[in-house]
Amino acid sequence: MYEKKHEQLATRRVFRRRMAGHGAVAAALMVLSLALGMAGYCWLGGLAPVDAFLNAAMLMGGMGPVDALHTDTAKIFAGLYALYCGLVLLVTTGILAAPVVHRMLHRFNVGGDQ
């Protein structure tokens, strides 16, 4: 997927295509995570789909839930979903940063010849 140390730096076109691919993977992860949160809020929290979307999106955005949950199961889900959203943020950042960091390291040829 990436060029090796002894290969030339990828062209801008290849780099843009690589960034688009990583962006698509990150977007898919975000959409899947949002759907998971909405399903949990609908099923366990008894919220309407629009309210479930609002709560899941607010948690993914780092703002916190909007509606109060009334069952222990729903509260445990919300807590676990909040932790999951924090991990998704870190993973998504890594997915989007990987091509940029690789390009910088490849450009400066960190590590020298071995």
Domain range list for the chain: 25-108
Distance CA 92, CA 87 (A): 8
What does the pLDDT read at residue 9?
A: 86
**pTM for the full predicted model:** 0.86
Tokens for 27? Answer: 């977007």
What does the pLDDT read at residue 74?
A: 95
Query: Domain spanning 25-108 has what CATH number?
Result: 1.10.287.70
Helix, strand, coil tally for the chain in percent (to 5): 70, 0, 30
pLDDT along the chain (114 residues), means of 10: 82 95 98 97 96 95 89 95 96 97 84 50
Distance CA 5, CA 46 (A): 53
